[in-house]
Structure 1
Amino acid sequence: MYACVLVAAGSGTRANLGYNKLRYLVNQKPLFWYAFKPFYDRNYEMVLVVNPEDETFIRSYVPNDVKIVYGGKTRAESVKNGLQQVTEPYVMIHDAARVYIDETLIDQVENGLAIHQACVLSKRVTNTIYAKDESLKVLDRRFLYEAETPQAFITAEIKKAYEVINPQSTDDISQYQMVYNHEVGLVLHEQNNSKITYQKDIEQFEKEVENYMFKIGHSYDIHALVEGRKLILGGIEIPFQLGLLGHSDADVLLHAVAESILGALGLGDLGTFFPDTEKKFKDMDSKIIVSDVVKMMKNKGYKVSNIDCTIFAEKPKLAPFIGDIKQSISHLLDAPVEAINVKAATNEKLDSIGNLKAMAASATVLLIKGE
């Protein structure tokens, strides 16, 4: 339904890098990728407009279904070239240097396009603005708006608007208004959607990405041991005369694993998503719980760097099962088995664990931003 023309054909000379700033790597990804990914993750038809000398580099970072076309001498010519490849009924045009774009802003633009035939992401002007000719004149900022991208259109209309490029047009909306007099929707927001222009902008973005790159979570869980229940640890059934009591299958280890990830993401605890008051979670396989949490993690753009787990149990001896438990957790987390550590410890016959009345587990996870 939607397409995105991502304009990445500028020279970026003001960044003083000696090459196109959009190729600069931040956390092992080029700048343009941060503007590309939010649209691609929403299954947009993607058209990248690039310089010929950047094509090989850019192709190495994008999937094969992404269309790549060359830019023109001006931004308007570049947009026109990109629009020719669009087949979806609606299109957003976005500058690849606006790397702060996210799903929230895209949602807002989609909603704007549902109301208007064209719309533009924008902010109110809050500073005092002067117009200078023979004297200084203060402009009424109540009527001033800063245009950003994406700017969104019915594809057929914006293609028609670009049939003849008007040199007075400064962006896609102004080009559109040379042909159509439809009301243009202003999609107002207060987020950071700044454009990377200078080297200091790159440095600031780099700091923000690196500070946001890692997340750490920890959890501890304990369940009573009772007769008549299977003992499930890490998704593996362990032969034993006692099992763990709980609303679900009471896999204390997987509960700690799942909740440590929720904690790292700042999403609360297991009870938030899987309350023991809900009948649908009765006797639930905890592997399903972990799988659901992993989906949340991936939707946030994170993956497991490594996880360290400890099972606290007086009996049975768990050493023979540790390898299978690690393999199980590795599969559930979609992480290499080398990233999974599982230890077993007794409570030296002290307290409820030492007296075979309970079993506990803890997990500490490190999440990393990236694919």
Structure 2
Amino acid sequence: MQGNLNIRIGQGFDVHAFGEGDHVMLGGVRVPHAQGVVAHSDGDVVIHALCDAILGALALGDIGQHFPPSDPRWKGVDSSAFLRHCNALARERGWTLGNADLTVICERPKIGPHAQAMRETLAATLGVDIDAVSVKATTSERLGFTGRGEGIAAQAAVLLQSV
């Protein structure tokens, strides 16, 4: 086979346990909740999964390699900074986001009322049209740690296309 396909696909996953707090950050949006998350940064599982998907498509490792939790610089930081960095890495290498498909996995908080704001925030951060970003949610039918309300997870799939 000759030539390149000029696309790359990546997938990512992130999880955080619930802890003290009154909100969670999801897709760059502050979502009211009875708990926060235990995390080194702001614990935005949506952005963390999205970063891992972009880094995976670029074959550049994972978010922990770029922003190690052992580094005090990242304590409490807004995860949007991670996403801007990963997006810049893609652009520097001649890639742009074709689309991102994100799924939040939790029983609570309810994601539906915040999904559009997440799409808007993520699209603006990435510099793409909103129709390139999908945010949806599912429960785990009360099974496992998310089903018991012990934490929250997200998965992401991205398609990068050459510029």
Measured against the shorter chain, the TM-score band is over 0.9
State the Cα RMSD in Å.
1.2
Cα offset, 1:350, TM superposition: 1.0
User: Which residues of 2 match residues 40-119 of structure 1 at below 5 A?
Assistant: none
Match of 2:115 in 1: 322
Q: Write the distance in 2 (CA, Å) between the matches of 1:300 and 1:254.
A: 21
Q: Write the distance in 2 (CA, Å) between the matches of 1:365 and 1:355.
A: 29
Q: Deviations over 1:201-225 (max 9, x none)?
A: xxx9xx42x33x0000001111001
Corresponding residue to 2:96 among 303, 310, 328: 303
Corresponding residue to 2:74 among 269, 274, 281: 281
Corresponding residue to 2:106 among 287, 296, 313: 313
Cα offset, 1:274, TM superposition: 0.2
Q: Write the distance in 1 (CA, Å) between the matches of 2:17 and 2:31.
A: 16
Q: Write the distance in 1 (CA, Å) between the matches of 2:23 and 2:68.
A: 21
Q: Which runs of 5+ in 2 are unaligned?
A: none
Does the Cα contact within 8 Å between 2:12 and 2:155 map onto a contact in 1? yes
Cα offset, 1:229, TM superposition: 5.6
Q: Deviations over 1:47-89 (max 9, x none)?
A: xxxxxxxxxxxxxxxxxxxxxxxxxxxxxxxxxxxxxxxxxxx
Match of 1:272 in 2: 65
Amino acid across the alignment from 1:243: G
Match of 2:20 in 1: 227
Scaled by the length of structure 2, the TM-score of the pair is 0.96
Q: Write the distance in 1 (CA, Å) between the matches of 2:138 and 2:109.
A: 11
Cα offset, 1:230, TM superposition: 3.2
Does the Cα contact within 8 Å between 2:97 and 2:160 map onto a contact in 1? yes
Match of 1:251 in 2: 44
Match of 1:215 in 2: 8
Q: Deviations over 1:132-186 (max 9, x none)?
A: xxxxxxxxxxxxxxxxxxxxxxxxxxxxxxxxxxxxxxxxxxxxxxxxxxxxxxx
Match of 2:138 in 1: 345
Q: Write the distance in 1 (CA, Å) between the matches of 2:57 and 2:66.
A: 15
Amino acid across the alignment from 1:283: G
Q: Write the distance in 2 (CA, Å) between the matches of 1:330 and 1:355.
A: 32
Cα offset, 1:228, TM superposition: 2.3
Corresponding residue to 2:127 among 334, 340, 352: 334
Does the Cα contact within 8 Å between 2:53 and 2:158 map onto a contact in 1? yes
Corresponding residue to 1:290 among 73, 80, 83: 83
Identity rate, percent: 34
Amino acid across the alignment from 1:367: L
Corresponding residue to 1:239 among 32, 36, 57: 32
Scaled by the length of structure 1, the TM-score of the pair is 0.43
Does the Cα contact within 8 Å between 1:234 and 1:254 map onto a contact in 2? yes
Q: Write the distance in 2 (CA, Å) between the matches of 1:328 and 1:292.
A: 16
3-state SS of the aligned residue for 2:101?
Answer: strand
Q: Write the distance in 2 (CA, Å) between the matches of 1:328 and 1:357.
A: 26
Corresponding residue to 1:261 among 28, 51, 54: 54
3-state SS of the aligned residue for 1:272?
Answer: helix
Q: Deviations over 1:91-119 (max 9, x none)?
A: xxxxxxxxxxxxxxxxxxxxxxxxxxxxx
Higher RCO (CA < 8 A, seq sep 6+):
2
Does the Cα contact within 8 Å between 2:22 and 2:33 map onto a contact in 1? no
Q: Which runs of 5+ in 1 are unaligned?
A: 1-203
3-state SS of the aligned residue for 1:296?
Answer: helix
